[in-house]
């Protein structure tokens, strides 16, 4: 543990400056860009309903959109997987091992 290089805390704050720089650049870009005129939802009704239809590939919405049924299902599976993973990760390891888990299998130690 002692031989490993560590970051100086002071320098970590300095690194944050990069974020400000990025913001500056982005802002400069956005403000100088010309976006021209744009279409809006003006006069449209039932935006939320249309979102619902789009998600299930139903053609009843009044606004243009693609079908998202498959994406919806994939997200469903991912959420389920994430749930399972979270439960697995969160579960404490077997009780008898817990008190002697000083040195972990991956080499970590406490």
Distance between CA atoms of residues 94 and 88, nearest Å: 12
Among 31, 94, 99, 100, binds other proteins (CB under 8 A): 31
In the complex, least distance from residue 6 CB atom to other proteins, rounded to whole angstroms: 7
Q: Is 20 among the residues that bind other proteins (CB under 8 A)?
A: yes
In the complex, least distance from residue 100 CB atom to other proteins, rounded to whole angstroms: 13
Task: Please state the φ and ψ torsions of residue 35, each to the nearest 5 degrees.
Answer: -95, -10
DSSP codes joined into one string, 24-51: HHHHHHHHH---------TT---HHHHH
Q: Is 3 among the residues that bind other proteins (CB under 8 A)?
A: no
Distance between CA atoms of residues 67 and 61, nearest Å: 11
In the complex, least distance from residue 68 CB atom to other proteins, rounded to whole angstroms: 5
Q: Is 56 among the residues that bind other proteins (CB under 8 A)?
A: no
Q: Is 70 among the residues that bind other proteins (CB under 8 A)?
A: no
């Amino acid at each position: 543990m002692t031989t490993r290089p560590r970051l100086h805390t002071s320098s970590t704050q300095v690194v944050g400056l990069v974020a400000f720089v990025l913001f500056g650049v982005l802002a400069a870009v956005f403000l100088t860009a010309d976006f021209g005129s744009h279409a809006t939802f003006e006069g449209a009704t039932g935006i939320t309903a249309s979102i619902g239809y789009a998600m299930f590939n139903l053609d009843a919405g009044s606004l243009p959109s693609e079908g998202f049924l498959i994406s919806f299902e994939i997200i469903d599976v991912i959420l389920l997987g994430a749930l399972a993973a979270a439960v697995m990760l969160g579960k404490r390891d077997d009780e008898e091992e817990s008190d002697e888990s000083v040195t972990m299998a991956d080499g970590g130690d406490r």
